[in-house]
């Protein structure tokens, strides 16, 4: 056993040492297979110090990792760990954002750029194409694990792998030098710089034939020699990206990178940048133009060329932008080229939604200093040229039908039907497969809209319609409703309450008995009296005194005897057994010998008993800080609480409409009164009243004077917390720097406030209060001009409230007071005149 432990300990130490060695020589590619979570803070600091020593900032590191294909999750974790490790080391947090000008301009960042928090979700932009480059879940790093393109140009920095096998075997990896040459053993110097991959392979094979005659031997010959040339490592090229991009500068990229790869590394065009005219300049000449729309919408690679060293990518500002609003598949802002038509724009936003009105498109256009509206038929979209600043509005189709008839109610097939000339009500009923048996024949109603505004109703006897004694002609958009007998009568109900699984109302049926309701309610619950039931029956007493009569029902064990038959509106009540009380649980946490859950033994069990049952206090118990957490409204039935919470949410939702209607100062008090009155009318407590609260207790006196008034009786759900010794005091509220302050015995409340920066301008100094760990709250005392702040105990919270805003007089109130004073002055003058 000891040998196994030593063996695993040795493996652990070896792994840690190996990981530390990897960190010392860590490069960005290693981040793809080293989990940042496995690195210690010291290793992170060592890596960060090495990066800074090379002249790179945190922004440079993130960009380089992104270009090298490091997963975004690893980049985010590394950034967080570096910032955390640096802050713990005592460095200023701003040192990560300071300008670290690189010794070599590799990534083009100066350090003064605005850092983007990669953990903060970016709000979706309305500019089409912008979000494509801001998506951290995709990466356009070119893959090197693919066959090298035949047109790839070999140049300085590439590494070629030349292999020979068969009758002779050799393998050599050669790097192309500054003159474009490689040196092969025995073959000497071969110039491959500037050749494409196919030409380079042919030239190398020609040189090898001079050494290996078996290369020209026929297939199957014992002297046959085979050769292979491949690229072992792709060189890095420096590309300048300038103009309207998120982070312009010089980037080191793989030689397989294209224009799209480079743009993604730089963050893509800004919202003011062009997505339609990106230029690639090589040797002072523009050699390619890239239209990102063609790439995004058609997958076109036109202009997305491979980059060479010292290429320049220019992203100019956009020339023309138009906005698309309404029932289209992609609303947003689109860039249009000179001469592009409305039909081209339709392709860009993906077409119209199914409920769009596209026969007549509306374009708002700026002409001079004014705007004007142009209506463009859909058939002319290919001829209408778009201009910068245009706004395309696509409206919704109208919900109005021109030939619809509808029928609802007691028919077999209710719904919408097509109108035809000369149709009658009977024709519509026949289309709906006729009326059902429960249809009310004495009356039906037809709704009709007149002049598209006024709505009128037409009543008639359905019996006369069916017997063809009356004919009612229909018009388009008429709506017929056939009443059902059930909808015109009150449905009798019976109810079961009490100790059953699902208390509920049930539709009455003749022949029902109380035991039937018990079964329909899911049966009895634990503690129910399953022998004795009560049935309350409503009475119509002409003396206005008696409301109902109660029948006691006894259920037999063999179920052979029938109980009374129920009548409409009867209420069956299932009581609990005499003396039944469900078990109740309390909890004790913190510094006691045996913390955990305990069942309450009796209705008079107190806090002191719970302390004794838990084994007493632990050595580090802070008795003065003990507190009792109790649920508010616990005495109420849980279903009542749940019902109140649901009602509260419903009322708050309704009141949100009231609050948003008028947010002026004069209406705030009225709104608050509305809230209180509505909740009072619905008998609903606030959500705070249904939550838990802390009861201030003095645990030391409780244990010294058991069964005293301070030794509270335990209730279901109580949690007694005995904390350990606290060493801090929290200062919060209107202070300059809310913080935790080290507790010092005898230190005054004002001293703790000063340690948090002192009072702010809006602090209410005379109303400072202190919350203690046991739940007690004490406020500031006043005597004449003197204030006496509460004393501080370990773990206390000092709260400095805000001064109430002084409400000034409104114009109406000022005028009213002035008028009253003037009237009073006139009366006084006339009295003494």
Once rounded to an integer, what is the mean pLDDT over residues 51-78?
A: 68
Q: Domain check: are 297 and 228 in the same one?
A: no
The total of other beta-carbon atoms located within 10 Å of residue 745's CB is: 7
Asked if 325 and 274 count as a contact pair (C-beta separation under 8 A), the reply is: no
Q: Domain check: are 609 and 508 in the same one?
A: no
Structural domain includes residue 477: no
CATH number of the domain to which 367 belongs: 3.10.560.10
How much is the mean pLDDT over the chain?
Answer: 80
Structural domain includes residue 55: yes
Spatial distance between the Cα atoms of 438 and 450, rounded to a whole number of angstroms: 31
Structural domain includes residue 606: yes
Alpha carbon of residue 582 to chain centroid: 41
Could you tell me what percent of the chain has a pLDDT over 90?
Answer: 28
Asked if 496 and 508 count as a contact pair (C-beta separation under 8 A), the reply is: no
Kindly state the DSSP code that residue 148 receives in the 8-state scheme: P
The three-class DSSP label of residue 167 is coil
Spatial distance between the Cα atoms of 322 and 376, rounded to a whole number of angstroms: 16
Once rounded to an integer, what is the mean pLDDT over residues 227-252?
A: 88
Asked if 259 and 303 count as a contact pair (C-beta separation under 8 A), the reply is: yes
Structural domain includes residue 579: no
Backbone phi, psi, residue 361, to 5°: -90, 145
Spatial distance between the Cα atoms of 531 and 292, rounded to a whole number of angstroms: 81
Q: pLDDT digit string (tens) for 600-646? A: 888 888 999 999 999 999 888 888 888 888 887 544 445 555 555 56
* Domain endpoint, select from 547, 573, 599: 573
Report, in angstroms and rounded to the nearest whole number, the Rg of the chain calculated over CA atoms. 43
Q: Domain check: are 564 and 589 in the same one?
A: no
Q: Which residue range(s) make up the domain with 88?
A: 21-103
Residue 103 scores a pLDDT above 90 = no
User: Angle at which helices 72-88 and 41-53 pack, to 10 degrees?
Assistant: 90
Q: Domain check: are 833 and 793 in the same one?
A: yes
The whole-number pLDDT of residue 666 equals 46
Residue 93 scores a pLDDT above 50 = no
Alpha carbon of residue 819 to chain centroid: 56
Q: End-to-end CA distance of the chain, in Å?
A: 117
The whole-number pLDDT of residue 435 equals 93
- Burial classification of residue 590, based on how many CB atoms lie within 10 Å of its CB (0-12 exposed, 13-18 middle, 19 or more buried): buried
The three-class DSSP label of residue 778 is strand
Once rounded to an integer, what is the mean pLDDT over residues 370-386?
A: 91
Backbone phi, psi, residue 681, to 5°: -65, -35
Q: Taking the CA of residue 619 as centre, how many other CA atoms within 13 Å lie in the half-sphere pointing to its CB? A: 0
Q: Domain check: are 604 and 710 in the same one?
A: yes
The whole-number pLDDT of residue 664 equals 44
More confident site: 445 or 781: 445
Q: Domain check: are 179 and 264 in the same one?
A: no
The whole-number pLDDT of residue 811 equals 76
Spatial distance between the Cα atoms of 584 and 719, rounded to a whole number of angstroms: 12
Residue 36 scores a pLDDT above 80 = no
The whole-number pLDDT of residue 71 equals 66
Tokens of 641: 């609480």
The whole-number pLDDT of residue 559 equals 54
- Burial classification of residue 360, based on how many CB atoms lie within 10 Å of its CB (0-12 exposed, 13-18 middle, 19 or more buried): exposed
Residue 1 scores a pLDDT above 60 = no
Structural domain includes residue 35: yes
Kindly state the DSSP code that residue 99 receives in the 8-state scheme: -
CATH number of the domain to which 193 belongs: 3.30.1950
* Domain endpoint, select from 170, 199, 233: 233
The three-class DSSP label of residue 205 is helix
Residues 6 or more apart in contact with residue 617 via CB below 8 angstroms: 591, 592, 593, 611, 623, 722
Query: Smallest Cα–Cα separation from 519: which of 502, 536, 535, 537?
Result: 502
* Domain endpoint, select from 694, 721, 748: 721
Once rounded to an integer, what is the mean pLDDT over residues 300-322?
A: 92
Residue 166 scores a pLDDT above 70 = yes
Tokens of 379: 């058939």
Q: Domain check: are 189 and 240 in the same one?
A: no
Q: Domain check: are 421 and 548 in the same one?
A: no
Kindly state the DSSP code that residue 306 receives in the 8-state scheme: B
Residue 83 scores a pLDDT above 80 = no
Residue 27 scores a pLDDT above 70 = no
Query: Smallest Cα–Cα separation from 690: which of 641, 643, 629?
Result: 641
Rounded to the nearest 5 percent, the helix, strand and coil shares of the chain are 30, 30, 40
Asked if 594 and 614 count as a contact pair (C-beta separation under 8 A), the reply is: yes
Structural domain includes residue 368: yes
More confident site: 311 or 783: 311
The whole-number pLDDT of residue 633 equals 59
Structural domain includes residue 813: yes
- Identify the helix (H) or strand (E) that includes residue 378: none
Tokens of 257: 């990178």
The three-class DSSP label of residue 86 is helix
Helix (DSSP H) and strand (DSSP E) numbers for the chain: 17, 37
Q: Domain check: are 336 and 455 in the same one?
A: no
The whole-number pLDDT of residue 547 equals 77
Looking at the DSSP bridge assignments, the partners of residue 606 are 713
Provide the residue count of the chain: 833
Spatial distance between the Cα atoms of 376 and 359, rounded to a whole number of angstroms: 8
Query: Smallest Cα–Cα separation from 337: which of 329, 326, 348, 327?
Result: 348
Residue 100 scores a pLDDT above 80 = no
Asked if 403 and 417 count as a contact pair (C-beta separation under 8 A), the reply is: no
Tokens of 56: 């790179």
Q: Domain check: are 334 and 311 in the same one?
A: no
User: Angle at which helices 41-53 and 2-24 pack, to 10 degrees?
Assistant: 20
Once rounded to an integer, what is the mean pLDDT over residues 537-559?
A: 77
Mean pLDDT check: name the lowest of 231-235, 293-297, 711-715: 231-235
User: Angle at which helices 638-661 and 665-681 pack, to 10 degrees?
Assistant: 150
The whole-number pLDDT of residue 399 equals 76
Structural domain includes residue 139: no
Kindly state the DSSP code that residue 633 receives in the 8-state scheme: T
Residue 467 scores a pLDDT above 60 = yes
Residue 90 scores a pLDDT above 60 = no
Q: pLDDT digit string (tens) for 726-755? A: 888 899 888 888 888 888 888 888 888 888
Query: Smallest Cα–Cα separation from 647: which of 685, 673, 688?
Result: 685
The three-class DSSP label of residue 563 is coil
Residue 66 pLDDT level (bands cut at 50, 70, 90): low
Looking at the DSSP bridge assignments, the partners of residue 253 are 237
Residue 8 scores a pLDDT above 50 = no
More confident site: 495 or 813: 495
Q: Domain check: are 597 and 713 in the same one?
A: yes
Once rounded to an integer, what is the mean pLDDT over residues 530-559?
A: 80
The whole-number pLDDT of residue 368 equals 87
Once rounded to an integer, what is the mean pLDDT over residues 490-501?
A: 90
- Give whichever of 536-540, 573-577, 627-631 has the largest mean pLDDT: 573-577
Q: Domain check: are 624 and 710 in the same one?
A: yes
Q: Please tell me the total count of domains within the chain.
A: 8
């Amino acid at each position: 056993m000891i040998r196994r432990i030593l063996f695993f300990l040795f493996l652990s130490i070896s792994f840690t040492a190996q990981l530390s060695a990897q960190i010392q020589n860590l490069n960005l590619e290693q981040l793809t297979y080293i989990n940042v979570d496995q690195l210690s803070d010291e290793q992170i600091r060592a890596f960060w110090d090495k990066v800074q020593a090379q002249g790179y900032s945190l922004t440079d590191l993130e960009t380089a990792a992104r270009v090298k294909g490091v997963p975004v999750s690893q980049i985010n974790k590394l950034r967080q760990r570096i910032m955390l490790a640096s802050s713990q080391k005592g460095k200023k947090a701003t040192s990560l954002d300071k300008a670290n000008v690189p010794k070599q301009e590799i990534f083009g960042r100066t350090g003064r750029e605005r850092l983007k928090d990669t953990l903060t979700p970016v709000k979706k932009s309305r500019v089409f194409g912008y979000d494509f480059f801001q998506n951290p879940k995709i990466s356009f790093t070119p893959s090197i694990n693919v066959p090298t393109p035949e047109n790839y140009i070999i140049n300085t920095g590439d590494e070629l792998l030349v292999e020979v096998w068969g009758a002779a075997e050799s393998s050599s990896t050669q790097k192309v030098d500054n003159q474009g040459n490689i040196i092969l053993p025995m073959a000497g110097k071969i110039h491959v710089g500037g050749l494409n991959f196919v030409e380079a392979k042919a030239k190398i094979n020609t040189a090898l034939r001079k050494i290996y005659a078996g290369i020209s031997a026929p297939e199957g010959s014992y002297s046959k020699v085979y050769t292979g040339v491949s690229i072992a490592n792709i060189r890095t090229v420096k590309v300048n990206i300038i103009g309207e991009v998120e982070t312009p500068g010089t980037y080191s990229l793989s030689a397989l990178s294209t224009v799209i790869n480079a743009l993604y590394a730089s963050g893509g065009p800004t919202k003011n940048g062009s997505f339609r005219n990106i230029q690639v300049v090589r040797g002072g000449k523009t050699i390619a133009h890239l239209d990102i729309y063609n790439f995004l919408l058609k997958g076109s690679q036109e202009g997305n060329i491979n980059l060479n060293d010292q290429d320049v990518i220019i992203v100019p500002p956009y020339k023309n932008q138009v906005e698309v609003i309404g029932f289209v598949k992609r609303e947003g802002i689109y860039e249009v080229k000179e001469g592009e038509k409305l039909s081209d724009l339709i392709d860009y936003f993906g077409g119209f939604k199914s409920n769009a009105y596209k026969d007549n498109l509306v374009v708002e256009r700026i002409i001079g200093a004014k705007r004007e509206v142009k209506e463009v038929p859909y058939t002319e979209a290919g001829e209408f040229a778009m201009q910068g600043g245009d706004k395309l509005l696509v409206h919704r189709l109208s919900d109005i039908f021109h030939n619809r008839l509808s029928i609802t109610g007691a028919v077999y097939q209710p719904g919408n039907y097509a109108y035809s000339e000369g149709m009658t009500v009977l024709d519509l009923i026949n289309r709906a497969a006729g009326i059902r048996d429960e249809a009310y024949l004495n009356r039906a109603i037809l709704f009709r809209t007149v002049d598209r505004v006024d709505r009128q109703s037409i009543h008639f006897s359905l019996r006369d319609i069916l017997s063809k004694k009356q004919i009612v002609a229909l018009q388009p958009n008429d709506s017929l409703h056939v009443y059902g007998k059930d909808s015109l009568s009150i449905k009798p109900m019976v109810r079961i309450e009490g100790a059953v699984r699902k208390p509920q109302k049930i539709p009455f049926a003749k022949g029902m008995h109380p035991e039937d309701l018990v079964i329909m309610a899911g049966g009895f619950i634990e503690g129910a009296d399953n022998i004795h039931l009560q049935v309350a029956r409503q009475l119509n007493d002409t003396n206005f005194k008696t409301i109902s009569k109660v029948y006691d029902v006894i259920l037999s064990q063999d179920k052979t005897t029938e109980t009374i038959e129920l009548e409409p509106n009867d209420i069956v009540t299932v009581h609990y057994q005499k003396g039944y009380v469900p078990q109740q649980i309390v909890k004790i946490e913190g510094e006691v010998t045996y913390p955990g859950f305990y069942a309450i033994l009796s209705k008079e069990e107190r806090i002191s008993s719970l302390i004794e049952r838990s084994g007493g206090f632990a050595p580090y118990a802070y008795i003065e800080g003990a507190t009792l957490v109790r649920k508010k409204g616990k005495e109420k039935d849980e279903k009542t609480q749940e019902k109140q919470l649901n009602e509260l949410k419903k009322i708050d939702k309704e009141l949100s409409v009231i609050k948003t209607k008028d947010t002026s100062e004069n209406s705030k008090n009225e709104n608050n009164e509305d809230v209180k009155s509505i909740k009072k009318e619905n008998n609903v407590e606030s959500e705070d009243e249904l939550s838990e609260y802390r009861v201030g207790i003095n645990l030391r006196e409780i244990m010294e004077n058991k069964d005293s008034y301070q030794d509270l009786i335990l209730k279901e759900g109580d949690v007694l917390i005995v904390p350990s010794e606290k060493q801090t005091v929290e200062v919060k509220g209107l202070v300059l720097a809310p913080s935790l302050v080290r507790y010092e015995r005898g230190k005054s409340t004002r001293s703790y406030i000063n340690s948090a920066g002192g009072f702010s301008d809006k602090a209410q100094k005379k109303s400072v209060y202190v919350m203690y760990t046991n739940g007690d709250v004490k406020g500031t005392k006043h005597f004449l001009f003197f204030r006496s702040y509460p004393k501080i105990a370990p773990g206390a919270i000092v709260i400095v409230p805000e001064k109430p805003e002084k409400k000034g007089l409104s114009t109406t109130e000022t005028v009213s007071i002035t008028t009253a004073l003037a009237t009073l002055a006139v009366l006084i003058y006339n009295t003494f005149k």
